[in-house]
Amino acid sequence: MIYVVGSSNTDMVVKSERLPGKGETVIGDKFLMNPGGKGANQAVSAARVGGTVNFVCKVGNDLFGKQAIQQFGIEKIHTGYITIDDVWSSGVALINVDANGENCISVAPGANNYLSKDDVSPALEQIGDEDILLIQLEIPLETVVFSVTEAARNNARIILNPAPATTLPDHIYRNLFLITPNETEAELLTGVKVTDEISASEAADWLLTKGCENVIITLGSKGAFLRNKIEKRLIASPKVTAIDTTAAGDCFNGALAVAISEGKDLVEAVSFACKAAALSVARMGAQGSLPTRHEVDAFQS
């Protein structure tokens, strides 16, 4: 079982030729409204590629929240640990995407900001040593630290995707089976500017010294750098034409968790996750871009 603890948002996406500058209005040519949020994206990604997923989140008692829960059910995600907040609205993200697939995002977290220890405790009481906890940072850091600590106490394997980037308490690292920052997040955590394989290795070594068992630094179209006591290698990503990179990292993490839960070694798991992420960037949207297991298995780069 994969337990995903994280955020749920509704994404409102405008695609235009370029991203607006400060104080500038750019006329777009396409509007999409999609379910999103890093936690929800990763839960859906994992479910679509064959994972059994429990999603733990908080949504508002509003149309967006009700639609989200309904959609999770369609994706065959277990929704028994989702909390409904009667005070705060569901999270919303405003996303601009340019012609090259690059994006800028503004988020109103709403109920996500109030996902508490009490909200996640019922799920964490059930997690065990055959389970995986996949967690990100779009919820309160206090809840993240509590979730990691409790899951570690129950001997679950913990995957932390440290996004959006923020500093972390030192003691959290030693409980992590795996940490998966991108270049920007790795630099914020380690102080090492990641620009290539050599600098990725330096940043990964810093994270290993903090106590992480395994490190994967995602490098966009170049793939992902894997580092642990045995492996030290760049795993290439298939080449595709990027249309929208919005949920690529979430797709990668969800697929990675499933591959690990199926017993694949980390090299195989990263390769599988890179294929899933490559498929996602070739499509518009967040959850709408996430591939199925059949698509990933059939993908030939």
**3-state SS of the chain?**
CEEEECCCEEEEEEECCCCCCCCCCCCCCEEEEEEECHHHHHHHHHHHCCCCEEEECEEECCHHHHHHHHHHHHCCCECCCCEEECCCCCEEEEEEECCCCCEEEEEECHHHHHCCHHHHHHHHCCCCCCCEEEECCCCCHHHHHHHHHHHHHCCCEEEECCCCCCCCCHHHHHHCCEECCEHHHHHHHHCCCCCCHHHHHHHHHHHHHCCCCCEEEECHHHCEEEECCCCEEEECCCCCCCCCCCCHHHHHHHHHHHHHHCCCCHHHHHHHHHHHHHHHHCCCCCHHHCCCHHHHHHCCC
Instruction: Give the pLDDT mean for 211-228.
Output: 95
pTM of the model: 0.91
Position 241 in a domain: yes
Domains contained in the chain, number: 1
pLDDT band at 299 (very low <50, low <70, confident <90, very high): confident
Instruction: Give the pLDDT mean for 187-195.
Output: 96
Is 75 assigned a ligand-binding role in the annotation? Answer: no
Is 285 assigned a ligand-binding role in the annotation? Answer: yes
Is 9 assigned a ligand-binding role in the annotation? Answer: yes
Q: Is 297 a catalytic residue?
A: no
Position 299 in a domain: no
Give the active site residue among 85, 119, 131, 250: 250
Position 204 in a domain: yes
Instruction: Give the pLDDT mean for 253-276.
Output: 97
Position 74 in a domain: yes
Higher pLDDT, 34 or 262: 262
Q: Which amino acid is it at 80?
A: G
Position 33 in a domain: yes
Residue numbers of the domain that contains 146: 2-293
Is 83 assigned a ligand-binding role in the annotation? Answer: no
Position 300 in a domain: no
Position 298 in a domain: no
Is 149 assigned a ligand-binding role in the annotation? Answer: no
pLDDT band at 241 (very low <50, low <70, confident <90, very high): confident
Instruction: Give the pLDDT mean for 91-110.
Output: 88
Instruction: Give the pLDDT mean for 7-36.
Output: 90
CATH number at residue 69: 3.40.1190.20
